């Protein structure tokens, strides 16, 4: 699969990574090479093969639906680049 | 006391208990060694104070005869493990300044066993790489040099700082993580032992996530016995990781009986890949001969989907990475680049914070998971994973463990292979299948190539049969008698 500039720009938007226009061609080439490499998988007939969901055969454990922690607001905010009055601060979202 | 840094982890443990030296002396010798190897750039953060504090506690316990399994043993921690109050970067710019308010389960287990922290080791950014050249904190240099050539070499990756620190005698052992070979390949490049246990054996809680269905922590040490001791301390069920398995942790050291008579060792024909260094093929033959001499039986096996392991990996791992790395948004921790809108802030932060390889993988992952492509790529790769796991299950009906080379080449120079991502990916051709199938594997240093650099052999085992893997690895280690030092 050869990706074009527009597709790469769209992937970058979906991934929320700013990519400058002058990087698009090189990136399209790199990503296309990787996709060509992984497309070898099309040689394999996988009809009826169950996709792996868990590498170790086990039942997902369950526990009672109870609060097990909390009251650690300071710890949670300690690493925030910007925090204010007990909240994470972000650029204005609502006009 | 530089001789203290030459001890194996097991001998240091025994020496402490026999009161031949104190934990403080052992810690001081290693702190000095960490300083001495600064030019290798193996550590991102050094924690000498933590080491001395731990040593003081260890000396108190040793005096009272209350030594725990790893009492007073100085080790290094890959910077992917969250350590409470100690900078944890995952080798990335985007985690600038991040000091976790909690401790990963694996490191907590190690401290509970009495181990002492020397510092946090350098690594490929978010564990994505096989060279340690993608770290925001600069490449790590291997302590090894090619014969007659002084150019700096890579230690392998992604656990490159851990490998270099252990090989250079600056730590008795180190933690690593292995998503596609990130413990075993750097161990092979650096002439040390590296073990990836079965998926689920060690808790992933508090380890910065790369590809959650593949990531597994393990020990990097200079001997197989040391790996057995350290794995015993790291492993165990953890309710905080729903994929951690509730099984008793055996005494791995007891598994090292030296007796492999009657075991069946599988030799997969598909691991003779085109363009493989003939020395590596010879070493593999040598390994087979060593094990035969020890009384094993060899069995020719086939793992027909081996060729598809790497392409499947380069769908599954980036897909999981793209969703795991979505959390780096400039809001909760790490780097933030201001923007006029929320999206602009996200985009600028992630553009500045991620290196090229991480960006590449996040974008591939985003693409293969996007609407319309999910089945063609991600589901296809998961089906291939099922087939690869089936290949192994079939093989283990005929054999107990599998012997392969660890890597198709020896260490390369810093700066090489950076222009072709796929050439770099090929480093992991022998290790990736074990991750896709969740199986335990170990790399043991087995000899030197013509260039004077270490080569490793890999032993793969059945799920949760680390004991047989370790037992065979130790027999291999004795036969190889690898005494070379960087």
Residue range A78-84: mean pLDDT, rounded: 91
Please say whether the beta carbons of B405 and B284 come within 8 A. yes
Band of pLDDT at residue B2, cut at 50, 70 and 90: low
Span B37-57, pLDDT tens digits: 999 999 999 999 999 999 999
Residue ranges of the domains in chain A?
Answer: 5-43
Using CA atoms, how far apart are residues B304 and B64, in angstroms rounded to an integer? 56
User: Cβ–Cβ of A76/B101 closer than 8 Å?
Assistant: yes
Q: Where are the domains of chain B?
A: 2-257+440-480
The domain at B2-257+440-480 falls in which architecture? Alpha-Beta Complex (3.90)
Residues of chain A in contact with residue B332, where contact means CB-CB under 8 angstroms, are 76, 79-80, 88
B435 vs B454: CA distance, rounded Å? 23
Tell me what the mean pLDDT of segment B340-351 comes to.
97
Q: Say whether B87 sits in a helix, a strand or coil.
A: coil
* pLDDT the model gives residue A93: 85
Q: Give the pLDDT score at B167.
A: 98
Position B418 scores a pLDDT of 74
Q: Above pLDDT 70, what percent of chain B? A: 100
Which one of B374, B384, B423, B465 makes the best mutation probe of the A interface by having the most chain A beta carbons within 10 Å?
A: B384
Report d(CA B185, CA B442) in Å as an integer: 10
Could you tell me which residues are beta bridge partners of residue A12? none
Element (H, E) at B390: helix B380-395
Placement of tokens 């020496």 in the chain: B15
Active-site residue flag, B162: no
> Are B29 and B20 in contact, with CB atoms under 8 Å apart?
no
**Nearest CB partner across the interface for A81, out of B310, B330, B387:** B330
Let me know if B20 is a catalytic residue: no
pLDDT band, very low/low/confident/very high, at B159 (cuts 50, 70, 90)? very high
pLDDT of residue A29: 96
pLDDT at B166: 98
Residue B398, min C-alpha distance to chain A (Å): 21
What DSSP assignment string belongs to B3-43?
A: GGGGS-HHHHHHHHHTTSS-HHHHHHHHHHHHHHTGGG--E
What does the alpha-carbon distance between residue B404 and residue B439 come to, in Å, rounded to a whole number? 14
- What is the Cα B129 distance to its own chain's centre? 12
The catalytically annotated residue of B22, B104, B162, B182 is B182
**To the nearest whole number, what is the mean pLDDT of chain B?**
96
Q: Express each pLDDT in B4-18 by its tens digit.
A: 999 999 999 999 999
Say what the pLDDT of residue B1 is: 47
User: Is the CB of A16 less than 8 angstroms away from the CB of B315?
Assistant: no
Residue B459 neighbours by CB distance under 10 Å: 28
Q: At what angle are helices B380-395 and B309-324 packed, to 10 degrees?
A: 130
Q: Tell me the residue length of chain B.
A: 486
Contact B239 A63 (CB under 8 A): yes
Which one of B88, B383, B389, B432 would you mutate to disrupt binding with A, by most A Cβ within 10 Å of its Cβ? B383
Which residues are CB-contacts of B419 (< 8 A; sequence separation ≥ 6)?
none
Instruction: Say whether B78 is catalytic.
Output: yes
Residue B134, pLDDT above cutoff 70: yes
Rounded to two decimals, the ipTM of the complex is 0.96
Q: Is the pLDDT of residue B208 over 50?
A: yes
Predicted local distance difference test score (pLDDT) of residue B404:
98
Q: Which is it for strands B441-448 and B193-196: parallel, antiparallel or unpaired? A: antiparallel
Q: Which run of H or of E encompasses B290?
A: helix B278-293
- Per-residue pLDDT of B359-398, as tens digits, reads 999 999 999 999 899 999 999 999 999 999 999 999 999 9
A38: closest chain B residue by CA? B311
Nearest to A41 among B239, B350, B380 (CB): B380
Closest residue in chain A to residue B335, using alpha carbons only: A81
């Amino acid at each position: 699969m050869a990706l074009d500039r527009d597709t790469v720009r769209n992937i970058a938007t979906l991934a929320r990574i700013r990519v400058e226009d002058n990087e698009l061609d090189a990136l399209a080439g790199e990503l296309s090479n990787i996709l060509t490499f992984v497309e070898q998988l099309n040689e394999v007939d996988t009809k009826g093969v169950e996709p792996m969901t868990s590498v170790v055969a086990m039942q997902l454990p369950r526990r009672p639906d109870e609060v097990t922690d909390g009251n650690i607001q300071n710890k949670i905010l300690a690493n925030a680049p910007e925090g204010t009055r007990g909240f994470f601060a972000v650029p204005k979202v609502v006009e | 006391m530089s001789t203290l840094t030459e001890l194996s982890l097991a001998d240091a443990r025994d020496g402490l208990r026999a009161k031949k030296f104190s934990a403080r002396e052992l810690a001081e010798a290693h702190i000095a060694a960490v300083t001495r190897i600064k030019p290798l750039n193996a550590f991102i953060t050094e924690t000498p104070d933590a080491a001395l504090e731990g040593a003081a506690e260890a000396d108190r316990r040793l005096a009272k005869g209350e030594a725990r399994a790893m009492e007073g043993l100085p080790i290094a921690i890959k910077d992917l493990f969250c350590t409470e109050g100690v900078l944890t970067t995952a080798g990335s710019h985007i985690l600038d300044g991040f000091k976790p308010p909690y401790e990963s389960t694996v490191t907590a287990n190690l401290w509970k066993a009495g181990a002492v922290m020397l510092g946090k080791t350098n690594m490929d950014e978010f564990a994505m790489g096989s060279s340690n050249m993608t770290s925001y904190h600069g490449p790590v240099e291997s302590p090894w040099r090619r014969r007659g050539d002084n150019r700096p070499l890579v230690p392998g990756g992604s656990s490159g700082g851990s490998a270099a620190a252990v090989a250079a005698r600056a730590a008795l052992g180190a933690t690593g993580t292995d998503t596609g070979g990130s413990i075993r390949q750097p161990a092979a490049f650096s002439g040390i032992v590296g073990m990836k246990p079965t998926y689920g054996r060690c808790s992933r809680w508090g380890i910065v996530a790369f590809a959650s269905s593949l990531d597994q922590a393990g020990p990097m040490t200079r001997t197989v016995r040391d790996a057995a001791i350290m794995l015993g301390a790291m492993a165990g069920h953890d309710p905080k990781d729903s994929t951690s398995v509730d099984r008793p942790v055996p005494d791995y050291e007891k598994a090292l009986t030296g007796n492999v008579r009657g075991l069946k060792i599988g030799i997969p024909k598909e691991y003779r890949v085109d363009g493989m260094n003939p020395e590596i093929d010879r070493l593999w033959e040598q390994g087979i001969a060593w094990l035969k001499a020890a009384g094993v039986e060899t069995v020719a096996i086939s793992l027909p989907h081996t060729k598809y392991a790497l392409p499947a990996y380069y769908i599954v791992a980036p897909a999981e990475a793209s969703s795991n790395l979505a959390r780096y948004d400039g809001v909760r921790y790490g780097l933030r680049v201001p923007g006029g809108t929320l999206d602009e802030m996200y985009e600028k932060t992630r553009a500045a914070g991620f290196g090229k390889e991480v960006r590449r993988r996040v974008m591939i992952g985003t693409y293969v998971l996007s609407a319309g492509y999910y089945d063609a790529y991600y589901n296809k790769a998961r089906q291939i994973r099922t087939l690869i796991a089936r290949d192994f299950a079939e093989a283990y009906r005929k054999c107990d463990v599998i012997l392969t080379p660890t890597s198709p080449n020896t260490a390369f120079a810093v700066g090489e292979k950076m222009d072709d991502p796929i050439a770099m990916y090929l480093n992991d051709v022998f290790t990736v299948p074990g991750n896709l199938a969740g199986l335990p594997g170990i790399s043991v240093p087995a000899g030197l190539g013509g260039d004077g650099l270490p080569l490793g052999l890999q032993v793969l085992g059945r799920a949760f049969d680390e004991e047989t893997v370790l037992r065979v690895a130790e027999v291999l280690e004795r036969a190889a008698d690898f005494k070379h030092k960087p």
